[in-house]
Amino acid sequence: MDKRAVNLKNCVLVAALLPLVFLVVRSYLGELTANPIEYVSQATGWWTLCFLSITLAITPIRKLFKFQWIFPLRRLFGLIAFFYACVHLATWVVLDQFFDFESMLLDIKDRPYITIGMSAFVITSILAYTSRKSIRLALGPQRWVHIHRLIYVIAILGVTHFYLIVKRDTTEPLVFAAIIAVLLAARFIARQKK
Amino acid sequence: MKYLIPKIKENEVTSRDLFENRREWLKMMGALSLGSTIAPATLWAAAGRKLGPLEKSLYSTTEEATAFKDVTRYNNFYEFGTGKEDPVKFADSLKTDGWKISVGGEVAKPTVFDMDQLLKKFPLEERIYRLRCVEAWSMVIPWVGFPLHKLIRAVQPTGSAKYVEFVTLHDPEQMPGQRSPILEWPYREGLRLDEALHPLTILSVGVFGEVLPNQNGAPIRLVVPWKYGFKSAKSIVQINLTETQPKTAWNLANSREYGFYSNVNPAVNHPRWSQRKERRIGEFRKRETLPFNGYGEWVASLYSGMDLEKFF
Ligand code: HEM
């Protein structure tokens, strides 16, 4: 890999960790409202969905603008999304539920938004695992691409999860839904043209 | 039905600073006598003014109050935005001077009160209550107010009064959140008449011994401690006694999730939040949620014979 690509990746990695750094700093400053656990839960979920959307945008951007240099970032953004999903899940298990397994199982069973979030997380883990080069080679390009189309399923589950949480003001989840719909459509149109 | 209304006369005001420093407070207990200050005629004033003298109530919990800064900055008050800290940022636009509250419907003496009239007529008490939000968090809040039954008795309900409706101010100029149709405005809430007459049900005009800050529902709001927080309508301009069950804001928005009764009930499953437990603001571990938010000994009898999973 050439040096510029490595530098780019490092920059992206540092930038992508900033939201988490800010979250930690602000929690020390007591700026995360009276209910910091809820705040962290929402912030990490929001960033997970954000990085998922960015990951989805890489291929359309590369094709549309012929930005070949952007391509190596696809896996990186995907892994960053996975990283935020792990922090998001850990927030729930450790801070919110404090390892109360009975409550967590009941939540997975009774609360559709948790069931859906959990499903999204499981699929995300599979994609993170199979993103390794050795596994990609072992699977062969075609099967690998098929499996990794599941990212659309993750995005749709993620938006649905968000939509189900908000009580009345559905603006934000609908904005994410619109972004993801556009990215999906771009993909589809590009394929038709080929 | 008869209720015992416990009363202790004391010339104490429990102020915000005292709550912020509980230990000091306990030390000072005996010696304490904060001169409470303003004459009733000029009592009604901007948020932050001290209210008093206050009677203490046996209905108050002895649990430690939630920090003043949390009670007054972490609010659900969609009239000022859906974010928890939107109300504290934006509620300045609410004008509470000259506030009037009209009490009517199925009553013999419909009356329009201004705040001074209310405060002259009904002595203020301090009521330290648990507040349980449907979003599975809770607080302990030292309200200042008076029992709603006193107001209702004063206007003399007729025989056909069965319910009480509470209506919040509707004015998008003062309440910019009302420009977006997230709820059907004005915010409306309701109680059965016996719930409204229950001595635990109060109209509150203050917290921590001070006039209610706007974001907490100034100048006058309902507090029904055994029900989820959204039942306690804020910034009330109208109270109507009605024959039929009033329509209520959250029930109109989503009747599957928010029932008319909305009694705190860990056994009734909610699709968004487990109601088994709650996080007390300021604490890390969750605690078990109690039926009727711990007020069962006083209110459970209101619902004897009712299937509370059906009438949730
Ligand atoms: C890839 C998977 C996931 C994505 C994309 C995702 C995304 C989100 C988003 C966007 C929010 C709302 C943020 C906001 O209100 O601004 C959220 C909230 C939340 N998520 Fe997730 N999530 C995922 C997985 C999970 C999992 C596995 C769990 C736990 C089992 C979970 C539990 C929660 C909870 C409890 C909240 C709500 C916090 C609150 O409002 O109190 N999520 N998530």
The CATH number covering residue B193 comes to: 3.90.420.10
Determine which helix (DSSP H) or strand (DSSP E) holds B132, and give its type and residue range: strand B125-132
A139 lines ligand 1 (CB under 6 A): no
Residue B24 lies in a domain: no
pLDDT (0 to 100) of residue B37: 40
The whole domain housing B234 covers 50-303
A38 lines ligand 1 (CB under 6 A): yes
Residue B27 lies in a domain: no
Residue B33 lies in a domain: no
Listed residue (B151, B83, B89) closest to B119, CA to CA: B151
pLDDT (0 to 100) of residue B178: 96
Listed residue (B126, B198, B135) closest to B164, CA to CA: B198
Q: pLDDT tier at A65 (50, 70, 90 boundaries)?
A: confident
**CA angle (B104, B105, B111) in 5-degree steps:** 15
pTM of the model: 0.87
pLDDT tens, position by position, B11-49: 444 445 545 444 443 333 333 334 344 433 344 556 668
Residue B16 lies in a domain: no
Among candidates B85, B273, B276 on the partner chain, residue whose Cβ is nearest the Cβ of A33: B85
Residue B41 lies in a domain: no
Residue B19 lies in a domain: no
Residue B172 lies in a domain: yes
pLDDT (0 to 100) of residue B16: 54
Overall number of domains in chain B: 1
Question: What is the complex's ipTM, to 2 decimals?
Answer: 0.88
What separation in angstroms does the CA of B242 have from each of B38, B230, B247, B255?
Answer: 37, 20, 11, 21
pLDDT tens, position by position, B266-292: 999 888 899 999 999 999 999 999 999
Q: pLDDT tier at B5 (50, 70, 90 boundaries)?
A: very low
Whether chain B has a CB inside 8 Å of the CB on A94: the answer is: no
Distance (Å, whole) CA A137 – CA B268: 51
pLDDT (0 to 100) of residue B26: 38
Nearest CA in chain A to B85: A33
Listed residue (B244, B248, B261, B246) closest to B161, CA to CA: B244
Residue B32 lies in a domain: no
Overall average pLDDT of the A56-85 stretch: 92
Distance (Å, whole) CA B265 – CA B151: 28
A44 lines ligand 1 (CB under 6 A): no
Does B253 sit within 8 Å of A34, measured CB to CB?
A: no
